[in-house]
Amino acid sequence: MRIAVFASGTGSNFQAIVDAVEAGKLKVSIELLVCDKPQAAVVDKARLAGIPVYTFRPRDYDSREAYERDILNELRAKHIDLIVLAGYMRLITSVLVDPYAGKMINVHPSLLPSFPGIKAIEQAWTAGVKVTGVTVHYVDGGMDTGPIIAQQAIAIEASDTIDSLTMRVHKEEHQLLPQVIGMIAAGKVALEDNRAVIHHD
Ligand code: GRF
C-alpha cells in the first residue's frame, strides 16, 4: 500500500509511522509528505528519512480547492492508495474527499465526537472529563467527523497535569495510528453502511 501523510507541524505522528515502517512493523510504503508550512519541523523529519516532500503555501492560492487540485495531481502521479492526515490543520474539500472516499484517515487527540477541532487535549482538560483518548477515523469533509475506525481511552488521574496528559495522549496516538494503517493495509477494515468495521482473523 502506497501512502501519503499530510502534516502541518512537529510531525511526531509522521515520525511514528516512519519508525514503524523502518522497524518492519508496518508494511506500507510512505511515498510522500504533504505539508502546508514549508518551514515546519515535519519537513526536516521527512528529508532525514528520505521521503519525498510536497509543500505549498495556501496564501499563494485563491481557494482551498485550487491548492487541493495541485495536491491531487501529486497524489495521482505517485499512485497513492491511502491518505493519512497526521496533524494536518486544514479542512479538506470534495476535491480530495471525493476521489479518496474511504481512503483517507485522520488521527485526533480526543474521544470523538467529544472535543473536535483545535486544542482538543486542552478542551478535554478544561471540561474536567475523567476519560479522554485518541480517535482514528475516516475523513468525510467535516471537522473531525467521519466513521470512527478505532479509539483508545485514557483515564485522567487526579495527579495529572495538562502536560502529563498531553504526553500520554501523544504516546497513544503514536501507537494507534500506525496500528490502524496496518489494519487497513492488511484489508481488515471495511466501510459498511457508513460504519467502519474491523474484521479480526
Ligand atoms: C496531534 O495531536 C494530532 O492528533 C493533532 O495535532 C497533533 C500533531 O502533532 N491533530 P504532531 O505534528 O504529529 O507531532
* Pocket flag, ligand 1, residue 108 (CB < 6 Å): yes
**187 alpha carbon – ligand 1 mean position (Å):** 26
Q: Is 11 in the pocket of ligand 1 (CB under 6 A)?
A: yes
The pLDDT value recorded for residue 141 is 85
pLDDT of 201 over the 90 cut: no
Predicted pLDDT at 200: 85
- Per DSSP, the three-state class of 96 is helix
pLDDT at 32: 98
Q: Which three cell numbers stand for residue 31?
A: 511515498
Q: What pLDDT does residue 185 have?
A: 98
What is the C-alpha separation between 86 and 33, in angstroms, rounded?
10
Q: How large is the average pLDDT for residues 8-25?
A: 98
Most distant pair of Cα atoms in the chain: their distance? 51
User: Strands 2-7 and 29-35, how do they pair?
Assistant: parallel
Sequence-distant (6+) residues with CB within 8 A of 123 are 110, 115, 117
Q: Contact 96/71 with Cβ under 8 angstroms?
A: yes
User: How does DSSP classify residue 59?
Assistant: G
Residue 1: pLDDT above 90? yes
User: Is 7 near ligand 1, meaning CB less than 6 Å away?
Assistant: yes
Is the beta carbon of 87 within 6 A of some atom in ligand 1?
Answer: yes
Mean residue pLDDT of the chain comes to: 97
Give CA separation, 50 vs 14, 30, 31, 43, in Å. 13, 10, 10, 11
Catalytic residue among 79, 108, 137, 199: 108
Question: What size, in residues, is the chain?
Answer: 201
Question: What pLDDT is attached to residue 195?
Answer: 97
Atom of ligand 1 nearest to the CA of 10: 12
194: alpha, beta or left? (left if phi > 0; alpha if psi -120 to 50): left
Nearest ligand 1 atom to the CA of 9 is: 12
Active site residue 170: no
Ligand 1: residue of 5, 8, 13 to mutate (most ligand atoms within 8 A of CB) is 13
Per-residue pLDDT reduced to its tens digit, 56-75:
999 999 999 999 999 999 99
Alpha-helical segments (H) within 128-190: 162-185
Q: Model confidence at 19, in pLDDT bands (50, 70, 90)? A: very high
- Spatial contact of 136 and 144, defined as CB atoms under 8 Å apart: no
pLDDT of residue 70: 98
List the residue whose alpha carbon is closest to atom 7 of ligand 1. Answer: 87
**Are the C-beta atoms of 111 and 29 separated by less than 8 Å?**
no
pLDDT tens column, 96-154: 999 999 999 999 999 999 999 999 999 999 999 999 999 999 999 889 999 999 999 99
182 lines ligand 1 (CB under 6 A): no
Residues 178-187 have pLDDT tens digits of 999 999 999 9
| 201 CA to centre of ligand 1 in angstroms | 31
How far apart are the CA of 12 and the centre of ligand 1, in A?
7
9 lines ligand 1 (CB under 6 A): yes
CB 36 within 8 A of CB 117: no
